[in-house]
Amino acid sequence: MPQIAQVAETYSSQIFWLLVFFGLVFFVVGRGMVPRVMATVGDRDKQIADDLAAAQAARDRADEEEEAWRIRENENRDKAQALVAAAKADAAAKSEKKIAAAQKRLDTKLAEAETRIAASRESALAEIEGVAAEAAQDITMRLAGVKVTKPTATKAVKEAMAHV
Residue 18 identity:
L
Q: Where would I find the beta strands (DSSP E) of 72-127? A: none
Q: Do 122 and 139 form a contact (C-beta atoms < 8 A)?
A: no
DSSP state of 149: -
Look at the pTM and tell me if it is higher than 0.85.
no
For the chain, which residues score pLDDT lower than 50? 1
- List C-alpha distances in Å: 45 to 50, 119, 133, 160: 9, 107, 126, 122
Q: Which pLDDT score is estimated for 7? A: 57
